[in-house]
Amino acid sequence: MQFIQIDNFNGNLSFVTKDDGSGEVIIFDNLQDALETLAENCQNGMIVPIDFDIVSLMIRYDEFLLNMQIKIQEERLRLELLKRG
């Protein structure tokens, strides 16, 4: 998986680029390298995978949370009904 770093400096987002003046975005081939250099490259940085569909993952995560909330409500209702006997 590959990663980039994005800095959020006072609300201005910018990709971390090579120091050679080319403006070329630095692409990290592993998470460890991206993590190790984040503090020196960014003031308020984040690491973003570039070859992974994050939006689909977030949709699945939202669906999971909704299903868990429904299951919790169902269990609470079941327990309440058991108390009433």
**Which tokens is 56 given?**
């689909």
Q: In the numeric block, which tokens belong to residue 67?
A: 């299903």
Domain ranges of the chain: 1-52, 53-85
Q: What percent of the chain has pLDDT over 90?
A: 91
> Rounded to an integer, what distance in angstroms lies between the CA atom of residue 27 and that of residue 75?
47
pLDDT at 4: 97
85: pLDDT confidence band, cut at 50, 70 and 90? confident
pLDDT band of residue 54 (cuts 50, 70, 90) is confident
Per-residue pLDDT tens over the stretch 18-40: 999 999 999 999 999 999 999 99
DSSP secondary structure code for residue 3 in this structure:
E
Confidence of residue 65 (pLDDT cuts 50, 70, 90): very high
